[in-house]
Amino acid sequence: MLLVLKLVLSAGIIYLVNEVVIRHSRPALGSLIASLPLVSLITFVWIFYGMKDDPDARTQKLAAHSAGVFWFVIPSLPMFLIFPWLLKRGLSFWPNLIVCCVITMILYAGMVMVLKRFGIEI
């Protein structure tokens, strides 16, 4: 039952953003909803309730997840500037998406290397 709830909630968020942007022509509102850290907040709740038998492990897991999300958000941000820039220059959707994903993966790897240099493991 919990699995179904997780799936419905996650799919519902994606559906809501899609409906707001496409059906109601509210790209700013859709962008705002999509930019909220809803997935992370939901994950916090699932970790909190899923590990209630071990509070110390739960605290560690929540802290590690939160820090990891923070460090991985930073290298993902350029994608949101590169994507529209490439679209406006005529690169079609699928090649653009692939280029953005490759750039983001490279930036993720770079972030991991930089963090390791400073003794931060994620």
Whether 7 maps to a domain, the answer reads: no
Residue 46 pLDDT class (50, 70, 90 cuts)? confident
Domain that holds residue 83: 55-122
Residue pair 72/120 in contact by the 8 Å Cβ criterion: no
Residue pair 111/72 in contact by the 8 Å Cβ criterion: yes
pLDDT higher than 80, residue 1: no
Whether 23 maps to a domain, the answer reads: no
Whether 108 maps to a domain, the answer reads: yes
Tell me how far apart the terminal alpha carbons of the chain are, to the nearest angstrom: 31
Residue 35 pLDDT class (50, 70, 90 cuts)? confident
Extract the tokens encoding 61.
């897991």
52 φ, ψ (degrees, to nearest 5): -65, -20
Residue 117 pLDDT class (50, 70, 90 cuts)? very high
Place of tokens 């897991």: 61
In this prediction the pTM is 0.80
Whether 62 maps to a domain, the answer reads: yes
Whether 72 maps to a domain, the answer reads: yes
Whether 97 maps to a domain, the answer reads: yes
**For all residues of the chain together, what is the average pLDDT?**
91
Q: How many independent structural domains does the chain possess?
A: 1
pLDDT higher than 90, residue 60: yes
Whether 103 maps to a domain, the answer reads: yes
Whether 64 maps to a domain, the answer reads: yes
